[in-house]
Amino acid sequence: MFRGGCISAPDFNASAWCSNKLVGAKFFGQGYEAAHGGAVGANDSRSPLDTIGHGTHTASTAAGSAVANASLFGYVQGTAVGIAPGSRIAVYKACWGAWVCMASDVLMAAVRKGIVVVASAGNDGPTDSTVINVAPWILTVGASTINRQFAANVILGDGETFNGSSLYAGTLLSSLKIPLVYGGNVGSNVCEAGKLSSLSVIGKIVVCDYGVNTVPAKAEAVKLAGDARAILINRKVGGNHTLAFAYTYPATEVPFDAGEKIKNYISTNKFPNTRIVFLGTVIGRTPPSPMMTPFSSRGPNLLAPEILKPDVTAPGVNILAAWTDVTSPSGLDSEKFSITTVTSVSCAHVSGIAAMLRQAHPEWSPAVIKSALITTAYNVDNAGSIFKDASTGKAGTHPRRSFEGPVMWIPTVPGLDPGLVYDAGTDSYIYFLCALGYTADQIAVLTRDGSVTNCSMWLGSVGDHDYPGFSVPLSSGGGNVTQRRTVRNVGSSAVATYTASVTSPAGVLVALDPPTLLQRDAADAGVRGFTFSPQQGNVTVGKYSFGSIVWSDGKHMVASPIAVIWPVASAVAAM
């Protein structure tokens, strides 16, 4: 039962704003103030009030009620509704200033109370080991694309066309092509404010490289320099993926390769010219979706390599949801909604789904809910192929996606009846910390219940934590690695026999003990051993190799990804 409430402050009238929908609203600034030696900034509000928009957007994505005629500048016109619209919302503000969030109170205690903790994987992809929120009691979510784009294409004077993205909704440009210049030739290749030559850019379209300043700041700098338009080039690792921003002046973002071709066109033509065509909201199967976004952070997990992260991915691109009245996504005053691309949005999707699973199965622990989502996640795009990485345009190294997270797409009907689950409670997490080498005093800081942990009672390894995925760091010595798991049956079949199907990672043999399970009921659980053996021979692998284990009773498919992390000396050929 929820026992929270709302706190009033000069900027937040709890009696007016809290309701049967918003049942809790509090703020926590002590950690920020202690770390920064003073109160929150003057531009923020020491109250539950969202002054940025991020919290409003994510809360409404997870559990917002239906609102008709929602849009941003006419984009995505229609009814906006959250994933779990029947849910109530309790919001707790812990981020201040320029996205400074203190994690002091986001601890294991929530899991002890039966709360499913869902968190973003981070936005620092596609570099390896950038994933955050890697504790095993957290459901860590990456971001994938959807089948919606906001097309704003560039057509050069020679007719060559490049796809771009934009949320510009001002006066449409004429069909006439206008002069095109490169920012590097007129003062600043990245289009920094105050560095562009007004005489050289006035009335033209300016091409800007990625880096130094934000993409919207580049467009604003071009506008201020000479009433000009902008073509903004995405970073190279972005592949063919582009981001749509709410511009107040005509601008579009194009992929890196397209930008290089546009710059080459400028350098090889005496009078280069172009036009930008804004096509609005485009829904279709090209490119296929979902794709893994370039910005979504990747594994492996640096703090505990045996815990496979991220757990899942979900929609995190071009998502319309509510926005705060305090600020605006474009600098104007009229928007009640915004369109956002970030892993926090995909996290909100999964949070809503977890709430619905909690409603359907109130007896399930947070770990069971997480297991149900991970093991029933699917990995096929709308073209029927294994979904791709937008940064490379290629399919993943293995269907289960490994260090990016398997796609978890709504609706998740299989998650209601997952069959087998990997469960874990507070004691499991304490033993996990023991295996990592935490002392009793350090563990007490996390548990906050006055208990004293005796780690000598735990004889297992970090890899023996009952997790729905397998991450297997191999040693340079080439020995076998065995990890143990306990599974139990929560499926609709009270008695079921499950048989394992293994897709072994390249260079590794996977053996199960036993390979077949007879599960009678939810209480029928036992320890299963999974042994990973490096194979002799010249098997090319690289830094990682991937596979999967799928348990099936003929009705349920319980899929767990496997990621093998090879030692540096073995990164070319398996031992």
Say which residue, 492 or 437, is predicted with more confidence: 437
| pLDDT for 164 beyond 60 | yes
Closest of 316, 328, 345 to residue 60, by C-alpha? 345
Q: Which range in 38-47, 153-162, 335-344 is most confidently predicted, on average pLDDT?
A: 153-162
Its CATH class, for the domain covering 465-570, is mainly beta
| pLDDT for 143 beyond 90 | yes
Its CATH class, for the domain covering 14-146+290-416, is alpha beta
Give 287-329 pLDDT, tens digit per residue: 898 999 999 999 999 999 999 999 999 999 999 999 988 887 7
Phi-psi domain of 478 (left: phi exceeds 0; alpha: psi -120 through 50; beta: other)? left
| pLDDT for 422 beyond 50 | yes
Give 338-354 pLDDT, tens digit per residue: 999 999 999 999 999 99
Say which residue, 325 or 531, is predicted with more confidence: 531
| Two structure tokens written together for 327 | 């600020």
Q: Report the pLDDT averaged over residues 431-440.
A: 91
pLDDT grade for 528, boundaries at 50, 70 and 90: confident
Give me the architecture of the 148-283 domain, per CATH. Answer: 3-Layer(bba) Sandwich (3.50)
Closest of 568, 416, 431, 411 to residue 486, by C-alpha? 431
| pLDDT for 22 beyond 90 | yes
Assess whether the region 14-146+290-416 and the region 148-283 belong to the same CATH fold: no
| pLDDT for 412 beyond 70 | no
Name which of 159-168, 310-319, 461-470, 472-481 the model is least confident about: 472-481
Read off the amino acid at residue 385: S
Supply the mean pLDDT for the chain: 86
Read off the amino acid at residue 407: V
* Beta carbons within 10 angstroms of residue 340's beta carbon: 24
| pLDDT for 37 beyond 80 | no
Q: Is 264 exposed, middle or buried (0-12, 13-18, 19+ CB in 10 A)?
A: exposed
Quick one: pLDDT at residue 411?
44
What does pTM read for this prediction? 0.91
Residue ranges covered by each domain of the chain: 14-146+290-416, 148-283, 425-460, 465-570
Quick one: pLDDT at residue 187?
95
Read off the amino acid at residue 374: I
Quick one: pLDDT at residue 572?
38
Buried-exposed string 164-192: b where 16+ CB fall within 10 A, e elsewhere: bbbbbbeeebeeebbbbbbbebbbbbbbb
Quick one: pLDDT at residue 24?
93
> Who contacts 23 (Cβ-Cβ below 8 Å, separation ≥6)?
2, 4, 5, 6, 88, 89, 90
